[in-house]
Each structure stands twice: as C-alpha cells, then as structure tokens.
Amino acid sequence: MTPEEQSRRAADICAKAPVVPVLVIEDAAKAADLARALIAGGLPALEVTLRTPAALDAIRAMAGVPGGIVGAGTLLTPEDVKAAKAAGATFGVSPGATDRLVQASIDEDLPLLPGAATATEVMALLEKGYTIQKFFPAEASGGAKALSAIGAPIPQVRFCPTGGVSPKNVGDYLSLSNVICVGGSWVAPKDMVATGDWAGIEALAREAAALAR
C-alpha cells in the first residue's frame, strides 16, 4: 500500500466523524463496551494507543464490534506496526515519522496517519506521498493559529490535530480548511471508563459527533 493509497484510506476514515477518540485502555475487558458506546454515539473511528500492556488485547476486542474502525496509535517502530496489524488494527497513527516506520506501514498494508509538527516535517511527508497527516502535539506546537499558518503555503495537506485538543478549543481547529478531523481523549474520561458509565460516554460521543467542521 503506497503512501498515496494510505492517505486516501486515512481520509475516508477521518471523514466518518469530526472527532477520533484517542484511547488509553488499562483493562481490555472494558474495551468492547467502550467501543460500543462510542460507536453508538456516532464516533466509529477509534484510536487505541499502544501505551499500556492491555492495548493490543483491547484492539482485538474492539475489532469485533460491528460498525467500528479500530486503529492503533503511538506506533514508534516497525514491530509496533506488525503487532498492531496482527491484532486487528485497520489503520495506524504515529507521533512522528521515520523511514523505517513508513516502510513498515507500506509492507504491512496498514494505512498510516503520520505525525508532523513543523513545515519541514509536513513537506517531507508530502514528498513521500502523505496528504493526510497528524499535527502533533497540536497545542504545544502553536495550536490552531500555527496549523492555519502551515496551511497557507502547503494547502495540499489536511490534518488531524491531536494533543491538547479539548471542548474549549476544538472549534478553532475544526473551523480550519486544512483540518479533516481532530483526535481527542475527552470523549472517554478515565473515571467513566473505570466505572463503566457507557451511557455517559455515549452522550459525550454524541456531542462530539455533532460538532461542525
């Protein structure tokens, strides 16, 4: 799968809803119920970050939930790409991009949403064929103003900003012409996940799914 093909698939996934939940899952036993709540609320694309021992098992559990599109985040190495694909991930997200990581995503046919934070990084990924990228860390890198400025000379690239995106600033990002969606963790608060408040999470997902872009 070429970078161009990966970006076309990433664009399709990002267009499903204005928000992609960024999930840090500690207990894989809760993963399927969490996925059902988010999907029912209108957020079908789910990013499970590989930051916990339960992450791959969570991806396996979520991959079996109808209507969901489950991806793996925090991909750092070729081994991460292989493990994510084997667990059932249908797309990958990385905080940055290396040649080895990009090649692994090509070899494994895993659509990659590669991370970039500067104009040079964006240009380097565009040169490889990536027209859909992750802007990370969004707020620490200048927020919506910085992303708008990058978009002026590089309109060919659209972004999913992640990192510090919240209900307070999500509208600033979604109003930009070069933003296709955002990534955010606020739709699945740790306390709600821990107590199994799936109705509450579904309600948060519905609010996020209704955001204008």
Query: Which residues are identified as catalytic?
Result: 47, 134
Residues 75 and 93: their CA atoms lie apart, in Å, by 6
Residues 207 and 41: their CA atoms lie apart, in Å, by 8
**Tokens, residue 159:** 């972004």
Asked if 175 and 150 count as a contact pair (C-beta separation under 8 A), the reply is no
Asked if 138 and 173 count as a contact pair (C-beta separation under 8 A), the reply is yes
For residue 182, the 8-state DSSP code is E
Beta bridge partners of 159: 133, 179
Backbone angles phi, psi at 206, to 5 degrees: -65, -40
